[in-house]
A and B are shown apart, each in its own frame.
Chain A
Amino acid sequence: MNMLPPSKRRRRSLLRAELTPMIDVIFLLLIYFFMTTTQTPPESELAPALQAERVEGGGAADFQPQVIDVVMRGGDPAYLIGARVVRTREALGPILEALPQEGGLFVRGSGDAPTGWAVGAIQAARDAGFLAVTYVPGDDNAGGLP
């Protein structure tokens, strides 16, 4: 038989804490934060030098080193090394490795070529061992070389 007065009985029942709603809230918070979290891919950086091509009095450019041109050919991006046309990023590596690396390398980007291809050339040059890699803005009105 319960001998406690009714007021004390009510107080004791009020002090009982239900854990289930609290756990529900925790899981809801976890799900909310996991759903709203944005997954950002890890980033890295390339640090090529920057130079503009300036025409000297004689009409020649101010450098005559090794140059990779990033151009559009027949609607597709391509690399030009001298008269050689390279259609894939993978084929560029062995060609660059065969070149002397002391003089540095210039990557010249034509305005209509995609950025990814120019960055690919800079990376390939770094991987081939070129320490001095310079980006040069190219012809923006090329409109696709023949």
Chain B
Amino acid sequence: MDITSLVDVVFLLIVFFLTTSSLVEMSRAVLDLPEEQGEEEVDTATPGLIVNIAADGTYIIENEPVTLARTIEMVRAEVDKAGGPEGVDLLLRADRNAPLVHINDLARRLVDLGLTTWRMGTQLPQRKGGQP
């Protein structure tokens, strides 16, 4: 019996799973995001910087916990790279249970840097009438 096709299938399965598993962005921490529908037209562009805020208020960037000062440094680097705050595409992913004080601290410093637009991450509701 010819087992070449069988070996092909095995390798194809391995390649498929390896490829699809790498599609998950490591910069997105596992958070319990607010369950909201979001904008009707979502900007599909990959954000320049993703800032995660965990339920305990920890800032997480690229899967590493960072201080607020370090977060602002990274945002400032993005502003410099983009040639101004208008070109910065920031995605804020905050846990639904995180106190707003952490978002407020970040927001004030973003405004100081000239940033007046951002995107806030939500997860699509699993059931109708998702409680915030």
Q: Give Cα A30 to B82, complex, Å.
A: 44
A138 to chain B minimum Cβ distance, whole angstroms, is 7
Which chain A residues lie closer than 8 Å to B9 at the CB level? Answer: 26
Q: Mark A82-110, 1 if CB is under 8 A from B, else 0.
A: 00000001100000000000000000011
Once A25-B10, A50-B115, A115-B103 are accepted as A-B contacts, the answer to whether A45 and B39 lie under 8 Å apart by CB is yes
B124 touches A44 (CB 8 A): yes
B103 to chain A minimum Cβ distance, whole angstroms, is 6
Interface stretch of the complex, out of B62-70, B72-80, B94-102: B94-102
Q: Which chain B residue shows the least CB distance to A44?
A: B38
The number of A-B residue pairs with CB atoms under 8 Å apart is 160
A37 touches B21 (CB 8 A): yes
Number of interface residues of B (CB under 8 A): 54
B96 touches A49 (CB 8 A): no
Interface residues of B (CB under 8 A from A): 1, 3, 6-7, 9-10, 13-14, 17, 21, 24, 28, 30, 33-39, 42-43, 53, 91, 94-101, 103-105, 107-108, 110-112, 115-124, 126, 129, 131-132
Identify 14 residue pairs between A and B in the complex whose beta-carbon atoms are under 8 Å apart, listed by A's number: A22-B6, A43-B124, A44-B124, A45-B122, A46-B36, A109-B104, A111-B100, A112-B101, A114-B96, A116-B96, A117-B132, A120-B34, A120-B132, A140-B101
